[in-house]
Copies of this chain bind each other. A is one copy, B any other.
Amino acid sequence: MESIIALRKSIDTRLAQLDLKVQPKNLYEPISYLLAMGGKRFRPLLVLLTAQLRGSLTSQILDPAIAVEVFHNFTLMHDDIMDVAPLRRGQPAVHEKWNQNTAILSGDAMFVKAYQLMTKISPGHLSIAINRFNETALQVCEGQQLDMDFEQYSEVSQTDYLEMIRLKTAVLLGFSMELGGLMGGFDRKNQQQLYEVGENLGLGFQLMDDYLDVYGDHQKVGKQVGGDIIANKKTFLMINALDLAGTDVRRQLKGWVSIRDADPKEKVAAVKNIYDRLKIPNRVKIKMNAYFDKAFRLLKVIDCNKDGLEIFNHFAHGLIVREG
């Protein structure tokens, strides 16, 4: 049984030793650059911790776990172009440090590297792993497309928003757990149940992200308070507020969203005040906790190794209470 710290170290070591070619430099350097930025390695950890729910790990499961992380970083490289995001983890995004063409093509190459790592799975698991990886990758593209489409809409329903974050974020967490379940030796039914656990965790985490943007300890979160409000993002908070507000408050909210060049602090304070009056924080917490509760309920009925389960729960709960 391996600790979270030990697993995290294995992941980082393996990521630093990807057998990337040196030439052409402009194709491969951006891949190493992005991977070296770090990150929580949440997805490969989820793969390994889920496999451990069945017992001890073998070293062969590391590459497919890493594949999920490389895939995730590929989506970040392309998303940063589409979102015109200059920074990634506080450093220049690839399309900024190099240029856009480099970010497109290195991203494509990175996607292939993800497939190469996934293909290292044991032959008996290859077909199902690749098929499910394909389906998941396509869903992640759909989620990003919906996210971009929603920017053009004046309003988005809660249902559509939840479907968007499910595709963009949650399915990959679901797949991470399903893949861990596959490699750990769970049967297909349990693998699918583990997928559900991951998907529900993912939905909960995304709502938590929306919540923390406004109500988090911004030093801990490492982001500007109310960044989503300033960027006029249609978060779960904003969508709920628009749904619940009466005519006047709705007009006020719409007013803040449509104003350009508003003082950011004033705007965040005003919108936050509306959220508070409508008890949005409480509503989001209820929804978020419903997803987390469902995840742990689903996990409870799976026959797990006791030690593995303890480590998994420690990890998952540690992420959930991060804002206290």
Contacts and interface: CB of A to CB of B under 8 A. Distances in A.
Q: Is chain A's binding surface mostly helix, strand, loop or mixed?
A: helix
Contact of A145 (B24, B116, B130, B145): B24
A119 B134 contact: yes
A112 B134 contact: yes
A21 B116 CA distance: 26
A101 to B, nearest CB: 4
B130 A119 contact: yes
A79 to B, nearest CB: 9
A239 interface: no
Nearest to A136: B112
A134 B130 CA distance: 12
A4 interface: no
Contacts of A146: 24
Contact of A82 (B82, B101, B115, B119): B101
A35 interface: no
Contact of A27 (B82, B105, B109, B145): B145
A105 B26 contact: no
Interface residues of A, number: 35
A256 to B, nearest CB: 27
A137 B149 contact: no
A221 interface: no
B26 A141 contact: no
B111 A108 contact: yes
B127 A123 contact: yes
Contact of A112 (B23, B105, B138, B149): B138
Contact of A119 (B131, B141, B144): B131
A274 B146 CA distance: 54
A113 B138 CA distance: 8
Contacts of A127: 119, 123, 126
B123 A105 contact: no
B141 A109 contact: yes
Contacts of A23: 142
A23 B139 CA distance: 11
Interface of A: 21, 23-24, 26-27, 78, 81-82, 101, 104-105, 107-109, 111-113, 115-116, 119, 123, 126-127, 130-131, 134, 137-138, 141-142, 144-146, 148-149
22 contacts: A21-B142, A24-B146, A26-B145, A26-B148, A26-B149, A27-B145, A78-B104, A81-B104, A82-B101, A82-B104, A82-B105, A105-B144, A105-B145, A105-B148, A107-B108, A108-B137, A112-B138, A115-B130, A119-B127, A119-B130, A119-B134, A130-B130
Given A27-B142, A81-B104, 4 more contacts: A82-B104, A107-B108, A113-B138, A116-B134
Nearest 5 A/B pairs, CB to CB: A27-B145, A24-B145, A109-B141, A82-B101, A112-B137
